[in-house]
């Protein structure tokens, strides 16, 4: 029974360790910094925040593609 508890604790520890930062990723518009979030029971999600998808449109105009950015 003690061996089973150790194995369960080790597997949980390995899952927590593997959920780390993705680092800086290169995209068409520029560099972004991402994270890999643990959702539970071997499920993960890659998250990239603060990515501008379009320029702010003027009144009654369609949005235009964002020209890109620099840095991460």
Segments making up each domain of the chain, as ranges: 1-72
By C-alpha distance, which of 9, 52, 8 is closest to 30? 52
Under the banding of pLDDT at 50, 70 and 90, the label for residue 23 is confident
**Alpha-carbon span 12 to 31, nearest angstrom:** 32
Residue 17 CA, chain-centre distance (Å), reads: 16
Which residues, in sequence order, are bridge partners of residue 26? 31
Give the angle subtended at the CA of 11 by the CAs of 7 and 13, to the nearest 5°.
Answer: 115
> What is the model's pTM?
0.46
44-70 pLDDT, tens per residue? 888 887 777 766 777 888 877 777 776
**Alpha-carbon span 45 to 70, nearest angstrom:** 25
């Amino acid at each position: 029974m003690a061996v089973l508890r150790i194995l369960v604790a080790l597997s949980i520890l390995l899952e927590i360790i593997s959920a780390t930062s993705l680092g800086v990723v290169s995209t068409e518009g520029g560099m972004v910094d991402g994270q890999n979030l643990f959702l539970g029971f071997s499920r993960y999600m890659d998250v990239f925040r603060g990515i501008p998808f379009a320029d702010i449109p003027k009144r009654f105009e369609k949005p235009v593609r964002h020209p890109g950015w620099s840095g991460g």
